[in-house]
Amino acid sequence: MASDLGITEPVEHLEASDQSGGSGIHGCILPNRPAKMQRGLDVERGSPNEEALTPDERRVCNEIAGREGELVDLLRALIRYDTTTHTPGAQARDEAALQQMLAARLRHWGAEVRVWEPNPASTAGHPMVPDGFSFAGRPQLAARFRGTGGGRVLLLNGHIDVIAADPADGWRHPPFAGGVEGGVVHGRGACDMKGGVASMVFAAETLARLGIELTGDLIVNTVSEEESTGAGGLAMARTLRADAAIVPEPSGLDVWVACRGSLLPTITVDGRAGHAGLPQRPAEEGGAVNAIEKMALVLAAIGELRREWQRLPAHPFLSPGDCVPTIVAGGEWIVSYPALCRLDCHIEYLPDQADEHGWGSLVERQFSDWILRATAADPWLAAHPPRIEWLVGGVPPAEVPLDDPIVTTALAATRAVGRASELGGLENWHDGATLIVEAGIPSICLGPGDINFAHTIDEFVPIVDLVACAQAIAVTAMRYCR
């Protein structure tokens, strides 16, 4: 797809390297808090607190507000690129064209820009990345605005991939058109998270346009693969260096400091085939055994484990760990006892449940021991224990200390631009967790829109949120990169 700027220059293909960094991830709303059902102008347009802003900060905020239409146009252009996320064997779509368009914009404002397809070896063998994964046609972008020297480096990280828009005929507005109505921008990715990408890019451009000098570097980083493998964020965690990061996932302009991790277990239970129309001898005498009925004992054990996790000490911003059975399959023929049953589950776990490396090995061990111990009371399952496998695609939990400079700076900046920002957490996962666990970069979420409208038909983001987010990110950068 051609960009609105008519850019046709080829994408640079450069290998990722540690030197390229210079000096340097679905969720739910917070527990026990009402969702911010933000629809258009029902969201109050906050006014910057003049007394809380310096003259330069006021100038930046006014510039962003005055160019609201350009910010909206940028988001609409991003939505028009079909960047539906990677699935095994799928061809690349418009990822390279989108990155090329952003690269041209950011170069125009003086950034040093790299657009490249990382070497697959840089992520091979990682628990999030499937075998044979390739970045072909799905480049990453890193644009560095150099500071005057000696200040902290801030990374702005956002993913450009989106989930499929199916069923497309259910949308009031075409999912890849970027329609505007009632003070909101509609389209796949408007909320998750091209709205955030537009805000962070526009914030960086505004600082450059006004000649605002930062002491430290400001890095704008757009990645692919967040919605599928997390490989884009992983490659960046192994390439870029920064003192902190903002990931503008749709937080409703709250500052999210924590997220849960996930694991993907598959449990297989064996039975013994037999004719379903005939009376059967006892199992110990060679009779048929119903694998589906035996799986019910596994489900009961999972239910007990879920209740056990509910009793753990509460996290201030996240719901307890959980295990949700998501897919069950069993049986071979309608007139036969099923000889096999398989159950897939999705586990969410808290940062406190992670191992010393930030991952879920302790949860895996607890889950496996719990299931085997509970089902051992059944003679058949004691002799034929359930088999538990862990699928590729698990992701780590993470959190940032509340007194970390990026937390206190972003919270104060967002309130200064007129939003009643609060601390919170993302119930699922985002690329910032990878930056924390893999690279030790403190990472928060601060973005426009309500996470409850991510992945929905008629997904949208309020324009007032786009403006406030760009203002908050710009002011945060001015205060942090010093």
User: Could you write out the DSSP letters of every residue in 180-212?
Assistant: EETTEEESTTIIIIIHHHHHHHHHHHHHHHTTP
Q: What is the mean pLDDT of residues 15-39?
A: 33
**Rounded average pLDDT over 369-383:** 98
Rounded distance between C-alpha atoms, residue 156 and residue 144, angstroms: 10
The reported pLDDT for the residue numbered 86 is: 82
Percent of the chain with pLDDT over 70: 90
Q: Are strands 154-159 and 244-247 parallel, antiparallel or unpaired?
A: parallel
Confidence band of 28 (pLDDT split at 50, 70, 90) = very low
Q: Tell me the CA end-to-end span of the chain in Å, nearest whole number.
A: 39
List, for residues 147-176, the tens digit of each pLDDT value.
999 999 999 999 999 999 998 888 999 999
Kindly report the number of other CB atoms within 10 A of residue 340's CB atom.
Answer: 16
- What is the pLDDT confidence band of residue 47, given thresholds at 50, 70 and 90? confident
Helix (H) or strand (E) holding 406: helix 405-416
Residue 365 vs residue 11, higher pLDDT: 365
pLDDT of residue 168: 83
* Closest CA relative to residue 292, chosen from 336, 350, 240, 239: 336
Q: With 90 as the cut, is the pLDDT of residue 48 above it?
A: no
Residues 6+ apart with CB under 8 A from 319: 28, 31, 260, 348, 427
Q: Identify the pLDDT of residue 90.
A: 85
The reported pLDDT for the residue numbered 45 is 60
69 pLDDT more than 80: yes
Domains annotated for the chain, with CATH where assigned, are 18-259+396-480 (3.40.630.10), 265-390 (3.30.70.360)
- Write down the pLDDT at residue 79: 98
Q: How far apart are the C-alpha atoms of 296 and 376, rounded to whole Å? A: 14
Q: How much is the average pLDDT of 405-428? A: 97
pLDDT higher than 50, residue 219: yes
Instruction: Find residue 186's DSSP bridge partners.
Output: 460
What mean pLDDT, rounded, does the chain reach? 91
Q: How far apart are CA 220 and CA 141, in angstroms?
A: 8
Question: Which string of b and e fits 426-447 if b means at least 16 CB within 10 Å?
Answer: bbbbbbbbbbbbbbebbbbbbb
Greatest pairwise CA separation for the chain in angstroms: 86
Please report, as a single letter, which amino acid is at residue 160: I
Q: 459 near 189, Cβ under 8 Å?
A: yes
pLDDT at res. 115: 98
Average pLDDT on 469-474 reads 98
Residue 453 has pLDDT above 70, yes or no: yes
* Number of Cβ atoms within 10 Å of the Cβ of 307: 10
- Find how far residue 171's CA is from the centre of its chain: 23
Is the pLDDT at 422 greater than 50, yes or no? yes
Give me the mean pLDDT over the 380-390 stretch.
Answer: 98
pLDDT for residue 46: 67
What number is the average pLDDT over the span 16-25? 30
Rounded CA separation 220/144 (Å): 6
Output 38 or 262, whichever has higher pLDDT.
262
* pLDDT > 50? residue 336: yes
Where do we find the tokens 């091209």? Answer: 194
What's the confidence (pLDDT) of residue 44?
53
Residue 125: is its pLDDT beyond 80? Answer: yes
Residue 474 three-state SS: helix
